[in-house]
């Protein structure tokens, strides 16, 4: 009896699975290859962009991060917040104390606070220790101003999307006309008036209007020519820093740790061989 028990239990599970297989295989319209969808055929993986922070020795290019910050400030921040980053963090990308103070003070969205007199809600200028203020008071306000879509906070965007550092610039430069091939095959997927076609976006139709429509949308302080590609790459680098500000420390400690552990491993192996000596094993 005890020897039969596993066979009976196993047969039970296997029968249930076999019935499940038969049920799905004999369902009308069963196919091993599911019908392609617009997304499965037309969605694109991000393009590759050259960044200085790639690879184990990668470091941020502070000039590029400052250019990217300028793009964020002048273009993205009109709709997107950056709530996990403080103004003082900008010192890490090469701005000095006075510049950070000026950036905080001049930031268009003010910091919410309460009036000293009667406690009523009011706003004040930002100071360096403040986080970047929220763009909208709440999601409802954000939706009402953006055709029903909430512009996501960008603090973690490059980590919150697959291959994010390449995704961001691919997306902002990726707007195209609705492809004829897709129109022929999936006429229902044509973007409506509130959406734009972008093959890098997961749903293909995105509510965000093309943010970098023309070259020279910003004029870079360091004289770099602000092509669309340049602006997109710079903002991709800046948002990578915003999401992963400790990358340089991480790489730095990582190199030292790996070298140390490698030497340690060689020594540990040698002591293992020495201790075992001629002992056959």
Q: By the criterion CB under 8 A, which residues form the site for another protein?
A: 2-3, 6-7, 9-11, 13-21, 23-25, 30-34, 56, 84, 89, 152, 155-156, 159-162, 164, 202, 243, 245-246, 249-251, 253-255, 257-258, 261-262, 264-265, 268-269, 271-272, 275-281
Q: What is the 3-state secondary structure (H, E, C) of the chain?
A: CCCCHHHHHHHHHHHHHHHHHHHHHCCCCCCCCCCCCHHHHHCCCCCCCCCCCCCCCCCCCHHHHHHHHHHHHHCHHHCCCCCCCEHHHHHHHCCCHHHHHHHHHHCCCCEEEECCCCCCEEEECCCCCCECCCCCCCHHHHHHHCCCCCCCCCCCCCCCCCCHHHHHHHHHCCCCCCCHHHHHHCHHHCCCCCCEECCCCCCCEECCCCCCCCCCCCCCCCCCCCCHHHHHHHHHHHHHHHHCCCHHHHHHHHHHHHHHHHHHHHHHHHHHHHHHCCCCC
> Whole-number minimum distance, CB 262 to another protein, in Å?
6
Q: Which is nearer to another protein, 33 or 193 (CB)?
A: 33
Q: Which is nearer to another protein, 17 or 183 (CB)?
A: 17
> Whole-number minimum distance, CB 97 to another protein, in Å?
19
Residue 255: HSE in the Cβ half-sphere, 13 Å Cα cutoff: 10
Q: Which is nearer to another protein, 20 or 181 (CB)?
A: 20
> Whole-number minimum distance, CB 35 to another protein, in Å?
10
Q: Which is nearer to another protein, 117 or 280 (CB)?
A: 280
Q: Which is nearer to another protein, 55 or 223 (CB)?
A: 55
> Whole-number minimum distance, CB 263 to another protein, in Å?
10
Q: Which is nearer to another protein, 114 or 253 (CB)?
A: 253
> Whole-number minimum distance, CB 178 to another protein, in Å?
22
> Whole-number minimum distance, CB 233 to another protein, in Å?
20
């Amino acid at each position: 009896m005890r020897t039969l028990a596993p066979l009976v239990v196993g047969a039970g599970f296997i029968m249930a699975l076999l019935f499940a297989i038969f049920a799905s295989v004999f369902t009308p319209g069963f196919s091993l290859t599911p019908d392609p969808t617009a997304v499965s055929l037309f969605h694109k993986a991000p393009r590759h962009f050259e960044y200085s922070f790639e690879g184990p020795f990668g470091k941020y290019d502070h000039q590029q991060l400052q250019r990217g910050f300028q793009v964020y400030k002048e273009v993205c921040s009109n709709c997107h917040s950056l709530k996990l980053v403080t103004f003082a963090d900008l010192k890490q990308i090469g701005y000095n104390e006075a510049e950070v103070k000026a950036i905080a003070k001049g930031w268009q969205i003010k910091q919410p606070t309460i009036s000293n007199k009667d406690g009523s809600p009011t706003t004040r200028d930002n100071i360096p220790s403040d986080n970047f203020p929220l763009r909208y008071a709440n999601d409802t306000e954000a939706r009402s101003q953006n055709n029903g879509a909430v512009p996501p906070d960008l603090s973690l965007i490059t980590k919150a999307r697959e291959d994010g550092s390449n995704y961001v610039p691919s997306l902002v430069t990726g707007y195209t006309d609705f492809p004829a091939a897709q129109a022929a095959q999936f006429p229902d997927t044509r973007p409506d008036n509130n959406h734009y076609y972008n093959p890098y976006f997961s749903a293909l139709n995105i509510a965000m209007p093309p943010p970098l429509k023309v070259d020279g949308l910003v004029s870079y302080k360091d004289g770099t020519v602000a092509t669309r590609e340049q602006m997109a790459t710079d903002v991709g680098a800046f948002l990578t820093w915003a999401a992963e500000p400790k990358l340089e420390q991480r790489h730095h400690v990582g190199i030292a740790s790996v070298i140390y552990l490698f030497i340690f491993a060689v020594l540990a192996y040698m002591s293992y061989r020495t201790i075992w000596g001629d002992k056959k094993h």
